[in-house]
Structure 1
Amino acid sequence: MSDGAGGGRRSPVLGSLGMPDSIRARVLVTLREAMVAGELEPGAIYSAPALAQRLGVSATPVREAMMELTREGLVETLRHRGYRVVALGDVALEEILQIRELVEVPTVGRVAALATAAQVEALRPLADRIDATAAAGELQAFVAADTTFHTEVLAIAGNERLVEEVRRLRGMSRLLGLQKLHEEGRLAATICEHHELLDLLAAADAPGAEAWMRRHLQHVRDIWSGRGDAVSEPADRGTVGAG
């Protein structure tokens, strides 16, 4: 189609407005991680300008991020007041965990059958980072590393929609007991041995990987219920996790 000025193609219009994608994406990731880590508390109300000031950005990308988080079910918009972080009850949390089990357990088994040695080894630095941030008490960095690790493992199965749904469900569950463990200095003692999962994937041990994921999700339940402070016995490695 001619643009009426020499017959050339029109320049695209859609997508030319608004904040750069990188800023919007960083704000969204940061706010989601803060909710998972408990820094933005369930039931609390936050304004876009106040959050923008803390993040060092304008209010526009914060509002856009909050709109996305509202669609994900993480926050609700309060007219003329701001945004309230949604507080989920025990029933809702259990339902989320049941869905995660139905999705993540068989998918990890499939990943064990599909993963190449290179793909597994590429995840080793992330597993190291989970351990390092937990030991240092860097809760938000730990949550980010843990989320990235698990979603990248699932991504090997090749289903992007599944990965995004798991990311959303993890955000909704938010590991309500994790902040307490962090405050009491017991986060590192409850960390799952993520390298064990990678060893199972490298060995193409689908049943072993699925069993690992079941144990991992069970300990998410334990964290919710306040039992997450128990450290597993040496013979039961890999059974305590962050989500």
Structure 2
Amino acid sequence: MGPLERRDLNAGRERLRDQVAGALRAALISGELRPGAVYSAPALAVDFGISATPVREAMLDLAGEGLVEPVRNKGFRVTAVSDRDLDQYTEIRALIEIPTVVRITRTAARADLEALRPVAEEIVRAAHDHDLIGYLESDRRFHLSLLALAGNDHLVQTVGDLRNRSRLYGLKALDASGELLPSAREHLELLDLMTAGDEAGAQVCMTRHLGHVRSLWAAG
């Protein structure tokens, strides 16, 4: 449980329950916690170096999102995601994100778009350093912050939920194959097109990027 052991949990900055939930989501997405496997709150708490209560509360939060399911007297089982699920999640994301990116390209202030460049660079840096957890966190922050420029909080929440549910178990294999860095650089490409006001180019880039998410990441 390597990534969990390295998490810096500080109750003074954020509720411990929320920090644990964030760490568990990252471990789910990266494949550190495997589909179908059952994990107990006390065992995970040992990895975090904390009591079992906030871990159990965090797992209940994830159960509410459909990421895990309670198993009586044992803990929580990580829910599996089928190819059909992934196809449907990707289709919904495409229906939402592609036209939204085009609209943001047309309406957003260039300064607001440029403010996302450091996050896009974080994604590339994390991919270069093989920092999978850092990659996932920066990638999520970039996409949801970009969509937030459309001014629709419910849209952002919906896409965030879809991202959680379409956990990308092939990330380690993608990194090992050398495909992670090119995927990371697409964020900078998209940002360049958007800041240039190239709506058609942004649409093509976003369509390609979501296709990579499904075909490369999930298939990995």
**TM-score normalised by the chain length of structure 2:** 0.87
User: Is the CA contact (8 Å cut-off) linking 1:111 and 1:156 kept in structure 2?
Assistant: yes
Q: Does 1:215 align with 2:203?
A: no
User: Is the CA contact (8 Å cut-off) linking 1:28 and 1:62 kept in structure 2?
Assistant: yes
Q: Does 1:118 align with 2:111?
A: yes
Deviates more, 1:82-91 or 1:112-121: 112-121
Q: 5+ unaligned residues in a row in structure 1: which ranges? A: 1-18, 229-243
Shift of 1:183: 4.3
- Residues of 2 paired with 1:185 and 1:196: CA distance? 18
Partner of 2:68: 75
Partner of 1:109: 102
Shift of 1:168: 1.3
User: Is the CA contact (8 Å cut-off) linking 2:45 and 2:55 kept in structure 1?
Assistant: yes
Shift of 1:210: 2.0
Q: Does 1:53 align with 2:21?
A: no
Residues 138, 225 of structure 1: alpha-carbon distance in 2 compared, 3 angstrom cutoff: closer
Question: Which one-letter code corresponds to 1:158 in the other structure?
Answer: G
Partner of 1:131: 124
Shift of 1:55: 1.8
Question: Which one-letter code corresponds to 2:134 in the other structure?
Answer: A
- Residues of 2 paired with 1:73 and 1:225: CA distance? 18
Matched residue SS, 1:218: helix
User: Is the CA contact (8 Å cut-off) linking 1:176 and 1:223 kept in structure 2?
Assistant: no
Residues 194, 185 of structure 1: alpha-carbon distance in 2 compared, 3 angstrom cutoff: closer
Shift of 1:164: 1.6
Deviates more, 1:182-191 or 1:150-159: 182-191
Partner of 2:148: 155
Partner of 1:22: 15
Partner of 1:4: none
Question: Which one-letter code corresponds to 1:105 in the other structure?
Answer: I
Residues 186, 193 of structure 1: alpha-carbon distance in 2 compared, 3 angstrom cutoff: closer
Which one scores higher on RCO, CA 8 angstroms, separation ≥ 6? 2
Higher share in helix: 2
Question: Which one-letter code corresponds to 2:136 in the other structure?
Answer: V
Matched residue SS, 1:193: helix
* Residues 129-180 of structure 1: CA deviation (Å, up to 9, x unaligned): 1111101111111111111111110011111121121111111111222121
User: Is the CA contact (8 Å cut-off) linking 2:174 and 2:217 kept in structure 1?
Assistant: no
Identity among equivalent positions (%) equals 48
Question: Which one-letter code corresponds to 1:87 in the other structure?
Answer: A
Matched residue SS, 2:15: helix
Q: After TM superposition, where is structure 1 displaced by more than 4 Å over at least 4 residues in a row?
A: 183-186
Shift of 1:69: 1.1
Larger Rg: 1
User: Is the CA contact (8 Å cut-off) linking 2:144 and 2:156 kept in structure 1?
Assistant: yes
- Residues of 2 paired with 1:189 and 1:204: CA distance? 23
Residues 213, 115 of structure 1: alpha-carbon distance in 2 compared, 3 angstrom cutoff: same
Partner of 1:195: 188
**TM-score normalised by the chain length of structure 1:** 0.79
Residues 53, 114 of structure 1: alpha-carbon distance in 2 compared, 3 angstrom cutoff: farther
Matched residue SS, 1:197: helix
Alignment length, in residue pairs?
209
* Residues 191-220 of structure 1: CA deviation (Å, up to 9, x unaligned): 342111111221233332222111111112
User: Is the CA contact (8 Å cut-off) linking 1:44 and 1:84 kept in structure 2?
Assistant: yes
Q: Does 1:176 align with 2:169?
A: yes
Question: Which one-letter code corresponds to 2:73 in the other structure?
Answer: H
- Residues of 1 paired with 2:169 and 2:28: CA distance? 10
- Residues of 2 paired with 1:51 and 1:225: CA distance? 26
Q: Does 1:32 align with 2:2?
A: no
Shift of 1:185: 5.5
Q: RMSD in angstroms over aligned alpha carbons?
A: 1.9
